[in-house]
């Protein structure tokens, strides 16, 4: 999903309109190949017809810039709405199924009140220096792209189920419509 | 060997540069971007550190990130799993952020540094970074180290023992049980912003009665004898939601959270007093536990809760330790320095020699601007100023302005690292003036007036002003001490009546001592000691003021307005000066008087304030 930046700038609008022209041309060419064209057009064949359509759309946008801006804004609005909806829908399905199932297996969080007299301080030792090159607390040298590191972490930490999150994370990243906020105001986020 | 430490992508990002173990520079990103608590990768702070060291990215041997991102992610997933199917809105916000940014920290760092960087990347543990930032720069050869904050990866507090160049972690308390989270929950409930309003809550506490302490301890938090605590999560919402507190919490305290900027009632004051009392109790118990575990004579502290200078003051006065040192950048910004120090001492095994003062250099670790740069800027904006080539003449003039009740913007030397202005980017005034507090608050800082200002005290006189030992150090404004009884002012019947007034501005206007601008309603003061070695020109200014007035105290507050990061450049200082009712501005050797400035130089205060979100 291509979410366009806001507010529109001239260069972005032009680029957008060129893409729209090419796509319209391609679509017309495909339709021309599938359907029977009227006689005056049939002699050109699908390719030239598609190219002609692309040229017409391109010229329309260049001669009437407002048309291109309107198209840009309409696309931007529609994709944002779609992205928001799709993101919500993805999470609505994925989150309870995946986390619900994992949660049934227990949690590393201490939620029940400990016995009186029991301390909540845990023995904790200094990290070994050979963990410094790793993004988690296990000895490793983390190199390569994020996906490889993620997969190695999932194996090392025995969170193999977290691999099922990769498609969701990738889709959510692709569906993100704005620059992500670092943290919502007013809370200490977990993240 | 050049090591760059980075803390980022949570809140208040920062960078710190070490060369052969010595701190060359450190700064928070917010000062450059002018966005309070800026959490983005600190590209400008990194550039400033490299410039201060005369380096490029190619010269860096190590770049160290202050925490383990994948361990934090692990905690995040475990938490969602524990609360699922609840937690979707929080996950909806978190997941794209992780997917696009936080799982790609190595790539982001390498992109920020560019192709020339060929050094190694390292990742330390959040609380180890805090502990390192507390111990390694401290003046102690050996010390217990206590870190307390909201949360890192899993840890929320830790106890360690530092000796020489080694830091041995001993104990850790784990998420979700956290003193920082508990304090922040009350901060949010009282209508202040989490991550910045905690200071306001602490300042509000002396107005209230700790009448909710039993309720907190009986219902919300089970505080153990050793300072560990367990929280009943049904009263909180931070694990699974996007607020701090749950409806059950609101019911426990009789209603919804206070709306930000609305009237502060007795209830908020009492809640503030109560959670402050609980916080002090936990810190005291944890400190005693750290003492029992380590047997150390000294204590070093860091983590956001270590900015609670009231609790620190109690540890110093009542605790089992002889001395206390708190990292001035105790929050996450300080993690950048700690991470770099960990690699130097721990990974590389380099020795450490404790500096008898400390090696934090007064926390003056940010950028500085020379006389020429200042003058070029002032000329470019058409400012009218007087340039002093003789420092003594400048200081005499400024001291006389102070004594005449003028409020002065003071900009000199390297910018401070950490949340406090310590005499490099400060607004200063005469602490004896009973109107000073209200004037600074309302006409210059544009903020709530219940908060007292900090006194800067000549170190050799500190015992005459507050209940501290002669010559005792508090150079980072991280300890609160009682004002000496002989300086306290007896209260009349009318004063006592005004001290019960619902409007806190009326209460705070009652002079409590001979230095009313810096004395809180409970006769406490957040002290910064000023000495010749650390503070140089600022010390000499205070000496001159003392010679003129016999008063070793001045008011010191950060050079900014509410919601604005502390000024960094001469331009930032000029704009703040031009938009507020400051009477004078000292930019290095140049003195600017507000009355002399051309009319077109005045910046509309409303427009200036509108740039900054209220904190």
Q: What are phi and psi of B241, to 5 degrees?
A: -120, -165
> In B238-378, which ranges are E strands?
298-302, 323-326
B125 touches chain A (CB under 8 A): yes
- Cα–Cα–Cα angle for A72, A73, A74, nearest 5°? 95
Question: Could you tell me the two tokens for B243?
Answer: 């607020």
Question: Could you tell me the two tokens for B100?
Answer: 């696009």
CA distance B47 to B286: 39
Q: What mean pLDDT is reported for chain B?
A: 95
Please name every residue paired with B525 in a beta bridge, in sequence order, or none if there are none: B481
Q: Do B91 and A91 touch (CB under 8 A)?
A: yes
- Tens of pLDDT, residue by residue over B468-491, are 999 999 999 999 999 999 999 999
Per-residue confidence (pLDDT) for residue A178, from 0 to 100: 63
**Residue A2 pLDDT level (bands cut at 50, 70, 90):** low
- Tens of pLDDT, residue by residue over B363-404, are 999 999 999 999 999 999 999 999 999 999 999 999 999 999
Mean pLDDT of A108-121: 93
Per-residue confidence (pLDDT) for residue A38, from 0 to 100: 78
Q: How many CB pairs under 8 A join A and B?
A: 224
Is the ipTM higher than 0.90? The answer is yes
- Tens of pLDDT, residue by residue over B272-303, are 999 999 999 999 999 999 999 999 999 999 99
Contacts of B96 in chain A (CB under 8 A): 87, 172-173, 175-176, 180
DSSP string, B301-312: EESGGGG-HHHH
Query: Token pair 């970074």 is at which residue?
Result: B129
> In B42-151, which ranges are E strands?
62-65, 120-123, 142-148
Q: Do A120 and B173 touch (CB under 8 A)?
A: yes
Angle between the N-to-C axes of helices B43-53 and B105-113, in degrees from 0 to 180, rounded to the nearest 10: 50
Contacts of B106 in chain A (CB under 8 A): 135, 142, 149
Closest chain A C-alpha to B103 CA, distance in angstroms = 6
Closest chain A C-alpha to B236 CA, distance in angstroms = 11
CA distance B558 to B550: 24
Query: Token pair 């977990």 is at which residue?
Result: A190
Catalytic residues of B: 11
Q: Which of these, B346, B291, B353, B345, lies nearest to B323 by C-alpha position?
A: B291
Query: What are the helix (H) ranges across A111-159?
Result: 146-156
| B330 membership: H or E segment, kind and range | none
**Do B263 and B195 form a contact (C-beta atoms < 8 A)?**
no
**Do B103 and B96 form a contact (C-beta atoms < 8 A)?**
no
CA distance B552 to B4: 39
- Tens of pLDDT, residue by residue over B252-267, are 999 999 999 899 999 9
Give the total residue count for chain A.
Answer: 191
Q: What are phi and psi of B584, to 5 degrees?
A: -150, 160
CA distance B334 to B477: 16
Per-residue confidence (pLDDT) for residue A185, from 0 to 100: 53
**pLDDT above 90 (res A40):** no
B217 touches chain A (CB under 8 A): no
Per-residue confidence (pLDDT) for residue B223, from 0 to 100: 98
Q: Do A188 and B88 touch (CB under 8 A)?
A: no
Please name every residue paired with B148 in a beta bridge, in sequence order, or none if there are none: B157
Per-residue confidence (pLDDT) for residue B327, from 0 to 100: 98
**pLDDT above 80 (res B179):** yes
Per-residue confidence (pLDDT) for residue A186, from 0 to 100: 54
Q: Which of these, B284, B577, B592, B597, lies nearest to B443 by C-alpha position?
A: B577
Q: Which residues lie closer than 8 Å to B420 by C-beta, 6 or more apart?
A: B328, B363, B454, B476, B477, B478, B528, B558
Share of chain A above pLDDT 90, in %: 57
Contacts of A176 in chain B (CB under 8 A): 96, 99-100
**Do B365 and B27 form a contact (C-beta atoms < 8 A)?**
yes
Per-residue confidence (pLDDT) for residue A187, from 0 to 100: 53
Q: Is the peptide bond before B400 cis (omega within 30 degrees of 0)?
A: no
Per-residue confidence (pLDDT) for residue A182, from 0 to 100: 47
**Residue A184 pLDDT level (bands cut at 50, 70, 90):** low
**pLDDT above 60 (res A188):** no
Mean pLDDT of A103-126: 93
Q: Which residues lie closer than 8 Å to A17 by C-beta, 6 or more apart?
A: A57, A58, A61, A62, A68, A71, A72
B42 touches chain A (CB under 8 A): no
- Tens of pLDDT, residue by residue over B237-254, are 999 998 999 999 999 999
Closest chain A C-alpha to B303 CA, distance in angstroms = 14
Closest chain A C-alpha to B239 CA, distance in angstroms = 7
Q: What are phi and psi of B469, to 5 degrees?
A: -70, 155
CA distance A120 to A114: 8
**Do B270 and B212 form a contact (C-beta atoms < 8 A)?**
yes
CB-based burial label for B500 (10 Å; 0-12, 13-18, 19+): exposed
Question: Chain A interface, mutation test: which of B5, B81, B289, most A Cβ atoms within 10 Å?
Answer: B81
**pLDDT above 60 (res A183):** no
The Cβ of residue B201 has, within 10 Å, a number of other Cβ atoms equal to: 25
- Tens of pLDDT, residue by residue over B69-119, are 999 999 999 999 999 999 998 998 888 889 888 999 999 999 999 888 999
CA distance B387 to B589: 6
**Do B356 and B506 form a contact (C-beta atoms < 8 A)?**
no
CA distance B593 to B615: 29
DSSP string, A14-30: HHHHHHHHHHHHHHHHH
CA distance A189 to B11: 10
Pairwise pLDDT comparison (B156 vs A6), residue with the higher score:
B156
- Tens of pLDDT, residue by residue over B485-516, are 999 999 999 999 999 898 888 888 899 999 99
What is the reported pTM? Answer: 0.93
Q: Do A103 and B101 touch (CB under 8 A)?
A: no
Question: Could you tell me the two tokens for B227?
Answer: 């300072």
**Do B164 and A100 form a contact (C-beta atoms < 8 A)?**
no
Cα B614 to Cα B432, B448, B562, B564, distances in angstroms: 29, 11, 6, 8
| Interfacial B residues in 163-202 facing A (CB < 8 Å) | 167-177, 180-181, 184, 188, 193-195
Which of A12-16, A159-163, B439-443 bottoms out in mean pLDDT, i.e. has the lowest?
B439-443
Per-residue confidence (pLDDT) for residue B448, from 0 to 100: 66
Per-residue confidence (pLDDT) for residue B453, from 0 to 100: 92
CA distance A16 to A29: 20
Q: Is the dihedral of CA B293, B294, B297, B299 positive or negative?
A: negative
Per-residue confidence (pLDDT) for residue A179, from 0 to 100: 54
């Amino acid at each position: 999903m291509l979410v366009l930046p806001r507010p529109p700038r001239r260069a972005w609008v032009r680029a957008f309109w060129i893409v729209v022209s090419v796509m319209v041309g391609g679509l017309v060419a495909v339709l021309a190949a599938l359907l029977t064209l009227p006689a005056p057009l049939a002699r050109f064949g699908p390719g030239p017809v598609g190219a002609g359509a692309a040229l017409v759309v391109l010229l329309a946008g260049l001669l009437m810039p407002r048309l291109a801006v309107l198209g840009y804004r309409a696309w931007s609005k529609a994709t944002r709405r779609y992205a928001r909806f799709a993101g919500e829908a993805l999470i609505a399905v994925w989150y309870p199924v995946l986390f619900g199932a994992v949660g049934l297996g227990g949690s590393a969080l201490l939620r029940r009140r400990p016995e009186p007299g029991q301390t909540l301080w845990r023995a904790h030792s200094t990290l070994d220096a050979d963990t410094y090159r790793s993004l988690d607390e296990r000895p490793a040298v983390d190199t390569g792209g994020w996906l490889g590191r993620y997969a190695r972490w999932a194996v090392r930490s025995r969170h193999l189920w977290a691999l099922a999150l990769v498609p969701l994370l990738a889709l959510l990243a692709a569906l993100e419509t704005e620059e992500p906020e670092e943290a919502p105001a007013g809370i200490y986020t977990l993240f | 060997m050049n090591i760059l430490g980075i803390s980022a992508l949570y809140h208040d990002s920062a960078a710190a540069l070490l060369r052969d173990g010595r701190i060359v520079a450190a700064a928070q990103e917010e000062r450059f971007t002018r966005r309070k608590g800026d959490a983005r990768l600190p590209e400008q702070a990194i550039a400033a550190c490299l410039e201060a060291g005369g380096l490029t990215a190619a010269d860096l041997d190590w770049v160290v990130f202050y925490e383990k991102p994948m361990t934090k992610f692990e905690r995040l997933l475990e938490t969602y799993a524990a609360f699922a199917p609840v937690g979707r809105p929080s996950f909806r916000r978190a997941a794209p952020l992780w997917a696009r940014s936080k799982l790609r920290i190595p790539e982001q760092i390498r992109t920020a540094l560019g192709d020339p960087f060929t050094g190694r990347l390292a990742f330390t543990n959040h609380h180890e970074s805090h502990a390192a930032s507390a111990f390694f720069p401290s003046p102690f050869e050996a010390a217990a180290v206590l870190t307390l904050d909201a949360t890192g990866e899993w840890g929320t507090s830790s106890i360690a023992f530092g000796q020489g160049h080694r830091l041995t972690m001993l104990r850790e308390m784990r998420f979700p049980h956290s003193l920082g989270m508990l304090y922040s929950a009350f901060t949010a409930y009282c209508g202040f912003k989490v991550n910045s309003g905690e200071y306001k809550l602490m300042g509000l506490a002396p107005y209230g009665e700790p009448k909710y302490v039993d309720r907190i301890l009986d219902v919300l938090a089970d505080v153990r004898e050793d300072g560990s605590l367990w929280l009943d999560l049904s009263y909180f919402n931070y694990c699974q939601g996007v607020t701090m507190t749950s409806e059950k919490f609101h019911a426990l305290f009789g209603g919804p959270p206070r709306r930000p900027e609305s009237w502060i009632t007795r209830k908020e004051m009492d809640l503030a007093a109560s959670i402050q009392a609980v916080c002090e109790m936990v810190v005291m118990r944890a400190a005693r536990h750290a003492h029992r575990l380590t047997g150390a004579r000294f204590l070093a502290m860091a983590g956001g809760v270590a900015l609670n200078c009231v609790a620190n003051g109690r540890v110093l006065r009542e605790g089992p330790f002889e001395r206390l040192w708190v990292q001035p950048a105790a929050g996450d910004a300080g993690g950048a320095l700690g991470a770099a120090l960990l690699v130097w001492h721990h990974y590389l095994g380099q020795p450490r020699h404790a500096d008898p003062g400390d090696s934090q250099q007064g926390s003056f670790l940010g950028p500085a601007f020379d006389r020429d740069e200042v003058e070029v800027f002032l000329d470019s904006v058409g400012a009218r100023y007087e340039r002093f080539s003789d420092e003594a003449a400048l200081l005499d003039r400024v001291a006389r302005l102070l004594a005449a009740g003028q409020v002065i913007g003071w900009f000199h030397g390297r910018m401070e690292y950490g949340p406090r202005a310590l005499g490099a980017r400060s607004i200063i005034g005469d602490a004896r003036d009973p109107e000073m507090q209200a004037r600074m608050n309302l006409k210059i800082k544009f903020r709530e007036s219940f908060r007292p200002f900090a006194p800067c005290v000549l170190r050799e006189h500190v015992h005459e002003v507050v209940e501290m030992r002669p010559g005792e150090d508090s150079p980072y404004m991280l300890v609160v001490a009682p004002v000496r009884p002989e300086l306290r002012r007896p209260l009349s019947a009318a004063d006592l009546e005004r001290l019960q007034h619902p409007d806190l501005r009326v209460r705070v206007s009652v002079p409590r001592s001979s230095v009313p601008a810096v004395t809180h309603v409970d006769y406490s003061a957040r002290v910064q000691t000023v000495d010749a070695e650390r503070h140089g020109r600022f010390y000499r200014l205070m000496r001159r003021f003392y010679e003129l007035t016999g008063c070793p105290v001045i008011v010191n507050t950060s050079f900014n307005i509410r919601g604005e990061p502390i000024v960094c450049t001469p331009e930032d200082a000029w704009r703040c000066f031009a938009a507020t009712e400051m009477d004078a501005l000292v930019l290095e050797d140049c003195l600017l008087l507000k009355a002399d400035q051309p009319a077109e130089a005045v910046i509309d205060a409303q427009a200036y304030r509108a740039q900054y979100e209220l904190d």
